Amino acid sequence: MSIKELGEFGLIEQLAKNTIVENKSVIIGIGDDAAAVVPRAGMTQLLTTDMLVEDIHFKLEWITLFQLGYKAMAVNISDIAAMGGYPKQALVSIAIPAQYGAEDIIELYSGMKQCCREYTVNIVGGDTVASITGLVINVTVLGEVFPDYMVRRSGAQIGDVVAVTGTLGDSAAGLDILRKEISGIGANNLVQAHFLPKPQVAVGQILASCGATSMNDISDGLASEINEIAKASGVGIELIASNIPLSKDLLNYAGAKALDFALYGGEDYQLVFTISPQNYNKIAQQQKTDIMITKIGQVCNNHEVVLIDDQGNRQELRPQGYNHFR
């Protein structure tokens, strides 16, 4: 059905279904001038927003609307995870090209709602407007965090361990596979990592409560995130190249270039953090099978960010994240 036939209000009525998955915190969801929510007493509120633009951030030849919706929500939830917080409420704005039917937007929302169910996030509001060209999606997420556990980017201490969750580079390799239109061993897992990233919310909370001193989610590649932490914290960081965790699928696909995907690729949505060696050891000893953390380096008292290879060679590690402003 066309959106014109259904009408903007008819469309919103469809989209508003099943948007509240945790109703204790919601007084007003979709349908008034503003949403109204109740924060938990004593919690600090977290706010983050991300805009995804067609043909800049995604190509609809490659990604389904369901996957795109899931991802648009996930990238925001990941920012809350990086602070050690709980994602709570989301607002969704979409600019819709003329050729889209109501079903397309409902499908896009299905992906968002799936992600919201997995992370217990309510969609409480938004805006639906027309686009003269491509699809634009903006998601804002409100989260909350125990004030004592909030982890900034700027708290890395000299002597801290640098560590990451999960494995890195899969998503970027997945994008490479899509670009080159190849298939092969493990290709599907890599592409799935690109399409359906899993924000590390529970792990972020554990790391925060166990004394992580700084944390970033890995959206622009490890090199970029490490530089951000070093700059914000006023410290240097040394990474051991051979310690950076890479999946078998990535190694099979990329061989000697696997590390480049991890360092410069982006969109992993894993976490990189710093923490005292004592606290790191405590977590490492308690690691459950579903939490994977790997020590990849240390914080040092110069202002250099360096990568040390197997031969002990040190090279400056610069961010090489793609710059959309060419």
Question: Between residue 126 and residue 145, which ones bind a second copy under the rule CB under 8 A?
Answer: 126-127, 129-134, 136, 138, 140, 142-143, 145
Q: Using CB under 8 A, which of 1, 18, 22, 55 touches a second copy? A: 55
Least Cα distance to 87 among 117, 119, 118, 113 occurs for 119
Contacts of 288 (CB under 8 A, 6+ apart): none
Please, which residue, 160 or 249, has the CB nearer to a second copy?
160
Contact between 125 and a second copy per CB under 8 A: yes
Can you tell me which of 46, 207, 246, 254 binds a second copy, judged by CB under 8 A? 46
Among 19, 167, 171, 216, binds a second copy (CB under 8 A): 216
Q: How far apart are CA 36 and CA 83, in angstroms?
A: 23
> Binding marks (x or -) toward a second copy, 171..210, rule CB under 8 A?
----------------------------------------
Three-state SS for 41? coil
- Of residues 31 and 184, the one with the C-beta less far from a second copy: 31
Show the site string, 88-117: x = touches a second copy by CB under 8 A, - = not: -x-x-xxxx-x-------------------
Residue 216: exposure state from Cβ atoms within 10 A (0-12, 13-18, ≥19): buried
Q: Considering only residues 13, 22, 32, 309, which one is a binding residue for a second copy as defined by CB under 8 A?
A: 32
Site size toward a second copy, by CB under 8 A? 71
Within 10 angstroms of residue 121's Cβ, the number of other Cβ atoms is 28
Residue 238 near residue 244, CB atoms below 8 Å: no
Q: How far is the CB of 37 from a second copy (least distance, A)?
A: 5
137, exposed or middle or buried, with CB in 10 Å at 0-12, 13-18, 19+?
A: buried
